[in-house]
Amino acid sequence: MPLSKDAIITLPNHHLRQKSRRIGVITDEIKNIADDMINATLSWDASRDHEVGVAMAAVQIDKLYRLIVVRNNFEDKTDLTFTVFINPEITKLEGNLVTDYEGCLSVPNIYGKVKRYNKVRVKALDLNGKPFRVTAEGFLARIFQHEIDHTNGIVFIDRIKNDPDAFYILGDDGKLTKVEYKDVQQDSVLWE
């Protein structure tokens, strides 16, 4: 039975703050975890009117492996295909630091303005153990930085928790509303 959005762990689950371990051998278990990640992302995506699930790290379904999945076309919600990245590493950060909105399946309804590089180079293994490299720009570069942060126990709010002007809440109407830092900080779901 495919994994649903209910399998996605959220803060304050302490596993989200732990580093994931490298994958030495690509077993059927690893392939099944990748499938579970895709299914959980798509289940989450189907439950949201104003958001698209673009990627996930294995830790988000409580599996501490250096494994991420990234949607192939995040601008088309009908495209249900993903690419699997095993042991992904950023080999080079390039371009300018750009501040833009980020959200996370593990931090429901909270968005933040996060500064990230607008170009990255990433190396990983595919499901057959074959090495490959990707150069990503713009939003895709942001996705890689966000997901690889997850494999290192970093959640996007950790990058902005000292910026009082960085936090927003997503309303039922799909609009982001600025929220006071002190109000977000008091939310035990985020900071425990």
For the annotated catalytic residues, the residue numbers are: 147
CATH 3.30.70.360 is right for the domain spanning 5-191: no
Contacts of 5 (CB under 8 A, 6+ apart): 40, 43, 44, 47, 105
For residue range 70-83, what is the model confidence (pLDDT) as tens digits?
Answer: 999 988 889 999 99
In the numeric block, which tokens belong to residue 121?
A: 């180079």
Taking the domains of the chain in order of start, what are their residue ranges?
5-191
Residue 188 pLDDT grade (very low, low, confident, very high; cuts 50, 70, 90): very low
Long-range contacts of 168-175 (CB under 8 A, 24+ apart): 168/101, 168/110, 168/111, 168/112, 168/113, 169/109, 169/110, 169/111, 170/50, 170/51, 170/103, 170/109, 170/110, 170/111, 173/50, 174/49, 174/50
* Confidence band of 185 (pLDDT split at 50, 70, 90): low
pLDDT in tens, 15-28: 999 999 999 999 99
Is 0.75 topped by the overall pTM?
A: yes
Residue 16 · residue 59 · CB < 8 Å: yes
Scan for tokens 């494994």, then name that residue.
Answer: 67
pLDDT category, 192, cuts 50, 70, 90? very low
What's the confidence (pLDDT) of residue 36? 97
Q: Does 190 score more than 60 pLDDT? A: no
CA distances from 67 to 40, 102, 155, 158, 167 (A): 14, 20, 16, 20, 28
Check residue 109 and give its pLDDT: 85
More confident residue, 149 or 180: 149
Query: DSSP secondary structure string, 76-113?
Result: -TT---EEEEEEEEEEEEEEEEEEEEEEETTEEEEEEE
Q: How far is residue 180 from each of residues 11, 47, 68, 162, measured CA to CA in Å?
A: 19, 27, 32, 12
Structure confidence by residue, pLDDT tens digits, 112-127: 999 999 999 999 999 9
Asked if 85 and 64 touch (Cβ cutoff 8 Å), the reply is no
